[in-house]
């Protein structure tokens, strides 16, 4: 339902003002672009202070990103952000995608701006949803969490397809984008798509929606958050939180569009026809897809947006910036290594750790 609304509302995105909450029961859905701020082997959550960390990431958001990050309010440290919501100084990062050619060389897969987000540079489309005014508690300064396990290479239990999936676009211009993320029984898979995708591949990652109400982080960066009692849910659905994690938080979803089209020529694929794409960890399964989040919205901007029935890339009272301004925000590269062009090995040798 939400996905249909999003599609219907798409035409109205050009309008300068956000949508009111009126006809949708007050639910909020922010959808906005954050350009890449840097690509490098740093991971202040899993490997704080380690330079370089084991595998390469693409990072978006505020310029307080660093090899280690304090648990204070990073919106006070950052002076700019690559997100189009100018008050969002959070950092979001994911693995990059690489292609391994038949001759054994690797190439980073470029990214393209998502639908309706022309002008964003690489990066990530970020969603925050709330089922209604007063229904979620925004994150506190210092809050961080990790989704997924970079070392995972096989299906666990009944799988996590509703939380982490790849969509195989059937043609240019996001063809095949008809159903809610991770919900298409044919085009969405928990693993890398087995064959060439004519319009590229999209990653979707959904973070948990329940919090213990106390801890801003936990040793594995996961135990302080949880899924609803009904289990991992798909995009923009609600569910009661368990007693251990009673506080409902906004659902954060990340979406990345990988332009795999220049690598679709099967004569470049392995002789046995197996799919040649991998995460920067060397994971060719896709089960190791993961994402990190460090909260950094200024003041109560996110709470207001979640209570305000906001929809899309604007929201009454929230500052936005054009991508021409957002793209100027940068973090200086602190790991000296090449990650582009044809490479003999993955940066860091594709260590999954
Ligand atoms: C990152 O950390 C280093 C070392 O602590 C420091 O010199 C640098 O100023 C920091 N950069 C930012 C953007 O905070
Ligand atoms: C490997 O294959 C790619 C794609 O065909 C090509 O562009 C690249 O130059 C090759 N690398 C080497 C070392 O032969």
CA 69 to chain centre: 19
Is 17 part of a structural domain of the chain?
Answer: no
Atom of ligand 1 minimally distant from the CA of 334: 1
pLDDT > 50? residue 8: no
Of the bound ligands, which one is closest to the alpha carbon of residue 342? 2
Range of the domain at 40: 1-12+24-154+163-353
DSSP H helices in the chain = 2-9, 301-307, 323-326
343 CB under 6 A from ligand 2?
A: no
Look at residue 178 and give its three-state secondary structure: coil
In-domain check, residue 244: yes
Percentage of the chain exceeding pLDDT 70: 92
Ligand 2 atom index nearest CA of 102: 2
Work out the pLDDT band at 4, boundaries 50, 70, 90. low
Query: Can you give the pLDDT at residue 14?
Result: 30
Average pLDDT over residues 29-45: 97
Q: How confident is the model at residue 207 (pLDDT cuts 50, 70, 90)?
A: very high
258 within some domain = yes
Average confidence (pLDDT) over 184-200: 97
pLDDT digits (tens, 9 = 90+) for 77-117: 999 999 999 999 999 999 999 999 999 999 999 999 999 99
Measured in angstroms, how far is the CA atom of residue 158 from the centroid of ligand 1? 42
- The preferred substitution site among 101, 109, 267 for testing ligand 2, maximizing ligand atoms within 8 Å of CB, is 101
How many domains does one find in the chain?
1
Mean pLDDT of the chain: 92
Within-domain flag for 104: yes
Give the burial class of 264: count Cβ atoms within 10 A of its Cβ; 0-12 exposed, 13-18 middle, 19 or more buried. Answer: middle
Give the pLDDT of residue 51.
94
The CB of 51 under 6 Å from ligand 1? The reply is no
- For the Cβ of 83 lying below 6 angstroms from any atom of ligand 1, the answer is no
pLDDT of residue 19: 36
In a domain, 19, yes or no: no
């Amino acid at each position: 339902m939400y996905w249909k609304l999003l599609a219907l509302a798409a035409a109205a995105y050009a309008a300068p003002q956000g949508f009111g909450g009126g006809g949708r029961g007050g639910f909020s859905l922010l959808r906005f672009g954050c350009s890449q701020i840097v690509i490098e082997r740093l991971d202040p959550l899993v490997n704080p202070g380690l330079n370089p960390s084991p595998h390469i990431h693409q990072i978006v958001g505020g310029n307080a990103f660093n090899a280690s990050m304090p648990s204070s309010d990073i919106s006070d440290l950052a002076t700019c952000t690559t997100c189009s919501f100018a008050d969002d100084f959070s950092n979001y990062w994911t693995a990059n995608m690489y292609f391994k050619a038949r001759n054994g060389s690797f190439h980073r897969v470029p990214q393209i701006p998502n639908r309706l987000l022309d002008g964003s540079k690489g990066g990530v489309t970020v969603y925050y949803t709330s089922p209604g005014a007063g229904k979620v508690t925004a994150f506190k300064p210092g809050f961080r969490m990790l989704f997924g396990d970079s070392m995972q290479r096989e299906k666990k239990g009944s799988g996590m397809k509703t939380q982490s999936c790849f969509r195989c676009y059937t043609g240019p211009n996001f063809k095949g984008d008809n159903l809610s993320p991770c919900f298409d029984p044919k085009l969405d898979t928990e693993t890398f798509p087995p064959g060439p995708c004519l319009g590229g591949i999209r990653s979707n990652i959904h973070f948990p929606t329940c919090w213990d109400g106390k801890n801003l982080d936990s040793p594995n960066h996961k135990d302080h958050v949880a899924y609803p009692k009904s289990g991992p849910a798909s995009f923009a659905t609600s569910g009661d939180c368990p007693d251990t994690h009673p506080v409902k938080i906004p659902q954060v979803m990340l979406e990345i569009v990988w332009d795999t089209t220049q690598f679709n020529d099967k004569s470049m694929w392995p002789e046995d026809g197996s799919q040649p794409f991998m995460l920067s960890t060397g994971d060719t399964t896709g089960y190791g897809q993961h994402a990190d989040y460090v909260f950094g919205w200024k003041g109560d901007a996110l709470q207001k947006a979640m209570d305000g029935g906001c929809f899309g890339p604007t929201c009454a009272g929230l500052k936005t910036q054009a991508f021409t301004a957002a793209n100027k925000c940068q973090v200086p590269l602190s790991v000296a290594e090449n990650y582009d062009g044809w490479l003999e090995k993955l940066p860091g040798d594709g260590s999954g750790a």
